[in-house]
Structure 1
């Protein structure tokens, strides 16, 4: 298939679409969802069989991306008969993607709900982060007006306004500096193996090859003193424990889990560990324990859709070889998008 054929490929190429095969081929979850929606419309069961045949004929030659756009926009139309009426109009369109978008906007009237006030922060990238604020338009207009009074025309306005904003926030110590919490990731050397203590499993005894033993806390204190907070990881068993001058109990487990999963373990999810929930890989309801080898970090949405019985349509989280993976519905292992402590220490 040359590029012209690829660009002009119509809805017919999706006749034998398979969701699992698409996931295994590496398509993004959003793309798989879009294609599955188109496949269901044109080749799935429906009570509007005559209209389905008409739409399939009319859509012949329409690029798949335009068909995907139509189906995505039609999700805003609640009545099935009305969706087919609009669909039959739109699939007869022949022209640019932009022109189709304009026609869709004329035919589909979606009520616009005002966004709620919000402040969001992106992940760090090359030492920088993005803050997005949604608030009352008059208040933000006042802020923009003030910031523009503080800049010159010599340099790009956006960068100057960012500097001006933080100059305002820092004046008078109204914006205190955050106190970062440095944690050192330490691989436990090959001459040490993990052995569970006789206690509740919260502490770990390390058995050395010379026959002596010491606790994980003693080992790290011996190597690093008690100044730094140090987290130990074993190349096969994963996180050993997190030690400092006093025990952290449940907080300690959550911190270690966030080191293993610095972001939601589902691939391509943008949620960082600051907003995730600590998830039982083997469900608590099915006998899973609250131990380090059974914990991972998921955002609230993916924690909700993760299949506790491992047979759901969204796949599930596993930790083969102490590396957190998402297992797709077809069984393919997909590593985390953001590497955690195990990947950073051991590859």
Structure 2
């Protein structure tokens, strides 16, 4: 057997080598003639497939599947598995990769895909204003706000004198300037959804780089004129979005038809004498839309816990599986 054949046989007998290396010290492996890096890697792999673990069942599955791979491939698998945050997810990824029979490039492609799937979603930053006060030097203000708002603010500033123009805006003394016109791109299918009352679920792009929801577009376009009620050709008035806090007469009737009495158990206050209640409070951004409205007697409307994140007290009304229910 040539040296090259011996090497190929050596790396192909991965699990037998790891089983024998398990329990040996790194020093003992080096004394056998292994380079220190190889000794370190062998001990690490042996600990994965033969060492103690709380996931012994998953370890058995991985060990069985890994017998089809050589040492080089097992090292490649561990390269990607080491990037997983939790041990359970790491074992699941290890088993999945060990069960692949394709070339190393296929294993790497699958590993990268799974790592993207496991990556936690980045939460958007909270809107607000932060002020950095320096004892000796200029201060810095950082504004985090919807893109459409900041795009408009940026368009209103004079690039030649941004601070002065911002100061003029704050003092409401800015001279009329040429208004920057930007287009809102509204695909026809998105327009249908907005007219059907799903504007909050539609995101539109502007040619100034910003984005805006369909509901916000309706609000900003018509609220100055008090005309933000959309009329569906079949359903009639659908949504008022954020332009009006008060429900229409049709919405009142629909809410009463859904709940003839106050839905707070065991209240039996008639809907005809009840108030209209926002399930997600208006002050917390709730919309005057039918899926967010219900009838409620004056007493329970007053004691309803509007903040769902506050410690539970009297409870609140919420829509659960399409029905208005009292929850705590």
TM over 0.5: no
For normalisation by structure 1, the TM-score amounts to 0.30
Is the radius of gyration larger for structure 1 or structure 2?
A: 2
Tell me which of the two structures has the higher relative contact order, counting C-alpha pairs closer than 8 angstroms and 6 or more residues apart.
1
